Structure 1
């Protein structure tokens, strides 16, 4: 570090020390340490004059609309929210009753007339949209409830149907078992004259006899019903489709369907003299040569 730089730093240090000393002396001076005392003066006369100026005693009550409760508010249990709110409600209710009396006394209308129509803040189109939206919501709720009711009815109806089907099956099974038992006892001759049965043993045979004999075809088998016969006449018969074009001994020996002209053949006779001789094949010509 050069000498000039050292001299510059020493001068700055001296200046800083002087400023610090001056600040300390200023803080410790009597003017800074002394505190200004505030004077509180109660000018009763001036305050009374101001209160009389702003007082509203000379103004009618209908313009002031102020009510002071005659009874003080006394809350026994401040921590009890219900009791505290009830006291506030009672005080407000008394003030409302007193205010209504004062308004009627002043001759000012208190209640709204029946034919009074206030101007709406919202437009009629906006209110119509809101009404339509509410109606749509109500309709959707009704549709949901109706769908739920229908689902419950379907479940209940399905349950009843299953119970009825099961009951019929049980009755049918019991009747068949009883019929089988009676038939068995009839065959064995174990039924006496005093036995009383509420089921006719030959009911099945009687019903078949009453319905008449079933029609049979040429092969001795019973014919199908009319619906099946109509379908067979329209669409043909079912049955076996395989090996329908397979030759048998009878079809092979039967030559009635054979045609010489159709098969382009001269038959089994020898060629005539006028017929032109065919040219021999290549292999035969090579052997001749």
Structure 2
């Protein structure tokens, strides 16, 4: 066969394949449009054969504990099969009913179905691996508890610090109010306007300003002013009444000429550097101690 003949033969085959495909597509389109007669389906309902098969595979002669089959008492009826929530709820109710019924039948048969308390199942992971996992879980739990405790302590410290600041501010305000009142009373005492200060004993000579106000034990007046208290009197006797302090112990002409406090006997005593009669030594000297030994 020459090349021209082969080319013509291949083209004819391609045209035949294309015609077959087009014919098949046309037939399928006509069948889909119900323009061509459809092949009829035949259904066979062989009840005797089905009943024989059911009897053959039936296990009604066995006890229930060997079959473990449960049939629901009520069929599942839903308003709409498209409603997934309602359909799943019916399945759940049917499964719950079957579980309760199966538990009652198992107990009636006397077969144990609950796992005993001392049951040890074979584990895929080793005990060492599970111990590490348990330790890790405990560490994570401890870390969470420590973080919560630290957070709680921080909150308590903040709250305590706030309370402390409020208390300190309150004390400062009280101290300032007392000092202002004391300053007012001091000013009235110095000006002679007693006013409400007649019922208080006030330390007006205190330099630190921390004066205390005490109720007067009695109206003791001297020249129109209250007499100082016992504490103030002791301080006055010990330290004086104020005034000039510098140069009070310097000698003057009168103090230098005053020889009334001079004692010859006292100044000749060895304790003052004079040459007097010494007391005999009660302890022997070193040489006598050495000779004695």
Q: TM-score range by the shorter chain?
A: 0.5 to 0.7
TM-score by length of 1: 0.55
Question: 2:52 is matched with which residue: 44, 49, 57?
Answer: 49
Gaps of 5+ in 1: 1-6, 214-219, 222-289
Q: State yes or no: 1:110 paired with 2:113.
A: yes
Cα distance between partner residues in 2 of 1:82 and 1:46 = 40
The whole-number CA distance in structure 2 between the counterparts of 1:120 and 1:110 is: 20
| Correspondence list, 1:36-115, <5 A | 40=42, 42=44, 44=46, 45-76=48-79, 83-115=86-118
The answer on 1:129 being equivalent to 2:155 is no
Compared with structure 1, are the counterparts of its residues 195 and 20 closer, same or farther at alpha carbon in structure 2 (3 Å cutoff)? closer
Q: Does 1:190 align with 2:184?
A: no
Q: Tell me the CA shift for residue 68 of structure 1.
A: 0.9
C-alpha separation between the residues in 1 aligned to 2:79 and 2:41?
41
Q: Give 1:127 shift.
A: 1.8
- Quick one: structure 1 residues 80 and 37, their matched pair in 2 at CA, closer, same or farther if it must change by over 3 Å? closer
Gaps (5+ residues) in structure 2? 28-35, 208-231, 240-245, 248-293
Tell me the C-alpha RMSD between the 2 structures. Answer: 4.2
1:182 touches 1:201 (CA, 8 Å); kept in 2?
A: no
Name the SS for the 1:204 alignment partner: coil
**Residues in 2 aligned to 1:168 and 1:144: alpha-carbon distance in whole angstroms:** 36
Kept after mapping to 2: 8 A contact 1:179/1:199: no
How big is the shift at 1:107? Answer: 3.5
Q: Distance in 2 between matches of 1:26 and 1:157?
A: 96
1:1-289 maps to which residues of 2 (within 5 A)?
Answer: 11=5, 14-19=8-13, 40=42, 42=44, 44=46, 45-76=48-79, 83-192=86-195, 195-198=197-200, 200-202=202-204, 204=206, 206=232, 209=235
TM-score by length of 2: 0.54
CA contact (8 A) 2:72 2:94 kept: yes
* Aligned length, in residue pairs: 205
Could you report, residue by residue, the CA deviation over 1:144-201 in whole angstroms, capped at 9, with x for unpaired residues? Answer: 1221222122222222222232223222222222222222222322225x64454614
The 4+ residue runs of structure 1 with deviation greater than 6 A are 24-29, 33-36
Give the match for residue 249 of structure 1: none
How far 1:49 moved relative to its partner? 3.4
